[in-house]
Amino acid sequence: MAHTVSALPSRTLSAEGRHWSIERAWPVKGDAEMLVVEVASVPDEYAKTADADPEDPGAAAGTDSRTSETSAGTHLPRRARRAGRFWVEERADLARPTEHLELFPAGTDPQLPALQDVSEGGIVIAHEPGQRAVVRHSIRGRNGRADSADETYTVVLPPGQASTLRAGMRHAQAFAGPFRLPRTVAEDDSTMTFQALPGVSLHRPERFGPSQWEQAWDQALDAWSTAIQHPGELPESTPVHDAAAEINRLQRWEEKTRPYIMGAELFQEAVDAACEALQKLPKGRLIPAHRHLRDEDLLWSAELGPALLKVSSAGWADPALDLGSLRACARWNEIRGLWDAEQRSVVTQLLNDTAYRNGVSAQALASYEHSALLRLSCQYTFSPSLADAAEHLRADLVQARQPH
C-alpha cells in the first residue's frame, strides 16, 4: 500500500489580512490533518517576498524560530510569536488544496490562561500551543538596549504545572558552580520568572572573536567535566535517561514524523538500526546530564565564564548523551549553513577530547550522536524554513546504512 504524506504548512501563510512566517509546527495527537503552529509576522518590507511563487523555495520569508532571520539570511528584529492551528482543505470544486491558518488572539492560548496577563508589556518569544510559552520583559536604556540585569524571562505553563519545572531545576543542582544557572525571581502555580543571564550564545560563532570561539567552548566543556565529576547529592526523584529511554525517545519522534515524510519505511529502518546499536552498548556509569543539551543552551562571558540554560530537563544519563547531542548539533549547524567547516571542526575536536578525558567510549559517543541526528531530522521537519535541510540530513542518515 502506498504511503500517503500528510501536508505540512508552507513557509508563509496569510491570516488576519497579513502575512505570517510559520516558525514551528506540532502534530495533533490523533489527527494527522491538523497541526498547531507558532508564527511570526512578516514585516511589510518583506511581505512582497511572501507573495512570490510558492513553488520557489528561496522566495518565502520564512524564519528560523531561534535566529530571527529570513530564509535568505536577512536579519530581522526579534518578532513576537503567536500560535494557532493549521489544516488543509481538499474539495472537488477546488483546483488545488487550500491551506488554512487560524490564529489565537495575540498573547493568548486556551490552555495557557496565565499567558494573557504575563504577556502584557512583554514580548512572547516562544510559544508551543497548549504546552508552554516564554515571555521576555525588559527595561531599555537611553541607547535602546536592555541590560541583562533589567531583563527577565517568564515560562508560562498549563495551570498547576510549574511544580514540575521547579522540581526539574532541583535536579540540575550538580551544574551549579561550574556553570551559572538561571535564577528564579518569581513563581506561581503556572509560571516561573528567571533573571536573564549575561553572555553570548555558543550557537552564534559570528559573535565571537577569532580566538574566543575555541576559548568559550573549552571553558564550557571544562565546566561540564567538573560538574559530572563532583555531582554531590541529587534528589531521589531525579530521572534516569539510559539507553532504553533514548530508544523510546527516538522511536516517539520517528512515529510522530512518519505521516509527513517521503521514504518513511527506509527512515524507520534507519531508526531501528540506531536503536539496536544503543541497545548493544554496555551499561556504564550514570552522571548528571542536561538530557536535551544543545549549543543554544550554552552562554559564555569573558568575565563571568559559561552559563547553562533550560536545565529543568536534568537527570542521570550516560556521559555520551550530552556530548553526542552537542556533536550532532555541530554537524546540523554546518548543514543548515549556520557554522562553517572550521567552526564545526574546532567544536568537534574539543568534544572528542572531553569524551576521551572522561572515559566515554567512541562507540557510545557515535551511537548517541547518531540518535540525536535522527531526532534533529525529525524535529526540523516541522520547521518550514529548515525542512529542506532536515530532509537532506535524513537522506544522508538513511544512505549511510544502505549497502554500497
Could you report the per-residue pLDDT of 134-176, keeping only the tens digit for each? Answer: 999 997 644 555 555 689 999 999 999 999 999 999 999 999 9
CA R_g for the chain: 21
Q: 193 with 154: CB under 8 angstroms?
A: yes
Following CA atoms 103, 107, 108, 113 in sequence, which dihedral angle do they give, to the nearest 10 degrees?
170
pLDDT, residue 57, reads: 27
Confidence of residue 55 (pLDDT cuts 50, 70, 90): very low
pLDDT, average across residues 62-79: 43
24-57: burial string, b at 16+ Cβ within 10 Å, e else: bbbbbeeeeeebbbbbbbbeeebeebbeeeeeee
Could you report the per-residue pLDDT of 323-349, keeping only the tens digit for each? Answer: 999 999 999 999 999 999 999 999 999
Write down the number of H helices and E strands in the chain: 10, 16
What is the spatial distance between Cα 11 and Cα 383, in angstroms, rounded to a whole number? 8
pLDDT, residue 93, reads: 75
Residue type, 340: D
Beta strands across the sheet bearing 240-241: 240-241, 315-317, 287-289
Check pLDDT > 90 for residue 78: no
> pLDDT averaged over the chain?
88
Of 100 and 54, the one with more pLDDT: 100
239-262: burial string, b at 16+ Cβ within 10 Å, e else: eebbbebbbebbeebbebbbbbbe
Phi, psi of 27 (to 5 degrees): -65, 150
Q: Output the CA angle 260-267-389, nearest 5 degrees.
A: 65
pLDDT, residue 235, reads: 87
* Three-class DSSP category at 96: coil
pLDDT, average across residues 197-204: 97
pLDDT, average across residues 180-197: 96
Q: 231 with 288: CB under 8 angstroms?
A: yes
Q: How many CB atoms are located within 10 Å of the residue 297 CB?
A: 22
- Concatenate the DSSP letters of all residues of 228-288 into one string: HHS-----TT--EE-HHHHHHHHHHHHHHHGGG-TTHHHHHHHHHHHHHHHHTSPP---EE
Check pLDDT > 70 for residue 71: no
Confidence of residue 245 (pLDDT cuts 50, 70, 90): very high
Check pLDDT > 60 for residue 374: yes
